[in-house]
Amino acid sequence: MEDLPKGLASSNASKIAKRLESVSGGRILDVATAGGGFIDTLMKTLKDYDSFVGIDYCASATSKKEMESAKKRFEGKPVRFFEMNAETLKFEDESFDTVCMSHSLHHLANIGKVLAEMKRVLKNGGDFILQEAYCDGDQTEAQKADELEHEWLARIDSLLGITHNKTLTKQRIMNIVNSLELRELEVFDSTHPVDCLFCKRKHECEDPKNQATFHNLIKEIDDAFKRIENYSDLETQNRLKEEGERIKETIAKSGSASASYLFIIGRT
Ligand SMILES: C[S@@+](CC[C@H](N)C(=O)[O-])C[C@H]1O[C@@H](n2cnc3c(N)ncnc32)[C@H](O)[C@@H]1O
């Protein structure tokens, strides 16, 4: 592998990838898959797998679009997508060898129900994989700017009736994980996603002020402005727009980098 940039090399991304390389995934369920991003990651890293099923109830127009384009992207591969509520999975008990969920805990209206369903459909002794960003700990100014934008977007989603909570704390994620009572639990804490190891853009994100990330975030904020254009309460709408403009300034000043996250793997 090429020499990794310092930030990525000192993160736990390589350790997580190595751990995934030891997993024979078998039949895998990815819950709240959206555009199947985590399926991509697992395909690149797992020791082997038979097939994937990605489910999402497509709460927003964006996740619906993402799932439709994922269906095309994975054509010819052993991957199927279904629109389905994770609180009532339409699968038999113990019908998957591996279940996983990536960056979606804070999107769930009923975390307990979803996790119970994931455990129900997982074979005894199967792997349970979870990754979720956290908001506290030792984050850089660029990560804090990203969190600020995320919290603002989550508030807009909530106003529009889409469940989207604030990023969780590390302790809250661990409390949720501990309630699963998994065996052989391993927890990795990383600043960088595993996908950074496969970067095709010369690791440009290592610079928190890189232009591509900056333009993506500004576009995300401008898109959110459009989504609230018809919101009934004009005062709230104007306040959110002012906050959005201030967040743009913070991002221009501090740059932006994705929040640190916990990667968790254990067996039932
Ligand atoms: C941040 S996105 C998922 C990202 C994706 N897992 C990845 O790593 O690329 C969160 C998703 O959770 C989905 N979601 C929220 N509650 C759900 C539920 N009860 N059942 C199924 N999907 C749900 C939303 O529709 C949304 O697409």
Three-state secondary structure string covering 185-219: EEEEEECCCHHHHHCCCCCHHHCCCCHHHHHHHHH
Any idea which residue has 């736990």 for tokens? 12
Element at 267 (helix H, strand E):
strand 261-267
What is the distance, to the nearest Å, from the Cα of residue 19 to the centroid of all Cα atoms in its chain? 19
DSSP letter assigned to residue 139 = -
Any idea which residue has 């127009």 for tokens? 61
pLDDT tens profile 114-165: 999 999 999 999 999 999 999 999 999 999 999 999 999 999 999 999 999 9
Ligand 1 mean position, distance from CA 36 (Å): 10
- Is residue 57 included in any domain, yes or no? yes
Residues 88-113 have a mean pLDDT of: 98
Write the CATH number for 247. Answer: 3.40.50.150
Handedness of CA 59, 63, 65, 70 (dihedral sign): negative
> What's the confidence (pLDDT) of residue 59?
79
- Is residue 12 included in any domain, yes or no? yes
Ligand 1: atom nearest CA of 60 is 25
- In whole angstroms, give the CA distance from residue 99 to residue 23: 12
Q: Determine whether the shortest distance from the Cβ of 63 to ligand 1 is under 6 A.
A: yes
Which structural domain range is residue 141 located in? 6-267
Q: Determine whether the shortest distance from the Cβ of 118 to ligand 1 is under 6 A.
A: no
Task: Classify 59 as helix, strand or coil.
Answer: coil
- Is residue 36 included in any domain, yes or no? yes
CA-wise closest residue to 94 among 74, 117, 75, 64: 117
Q: Determine whether the shortest distance from the Cβ of 39 to ligand 1 is under 6 A.
A: no
pLDDT confidence tier of residue 2, bands split at 50, 70 and 90: low
Q: Determine whether the shortest distance from the Cβ of 37 to ligand 1 is under 6 A.
A: yes
Q: Determine whether the shortest distance from the Cβ of 167 to ligand 1 is under 6 A.
A: no
Ligand 1: atom nearest CA of 101 is 6
- Is residue 16 included in any domain, yes or no? yes
- Is residue 1 included in any domain, yes or no? no
pLDDT tens profile 60-97: 888 899 999 999 999 999 999 999 999 999 999 999 99
Task: Classify 258 as helix, strand or coil.
Answer: coil
**CA-to-CA dists, residue 16 to 19, 138, 190, 200, angstroms:** 5, 20, 9, 19
Laid out side by side, the sheet with 261-267 consists of: 79-83, 51-56, 27-31, 96-102, 122-133, 261-267, 183-190
For a ligand 1 pocket test, name from 56, 105, 160 the mutation site with the most ligand atoms within 8 angstroms of its C-beta.
56
Ligand 1: atom nearest CA of 38 is 8
Q: The pTM is what?
A: 0.95
- Is residue 121 included in any domain, yes or no? yes
Q: Determine whether the shortest distance from the Cβ of 40 to ligand 1 is under 6 A.
A: no
- In whole angstroms, give the CA distance from residue 251 to residue 209: 8
- Is residue 203 included in any domain, yes or no? yes
Mean predicted lDDT score pLDDT of the chain = 96
Count of domains for the chain: 1
Percent of the chain with pLDDT over 70: 99
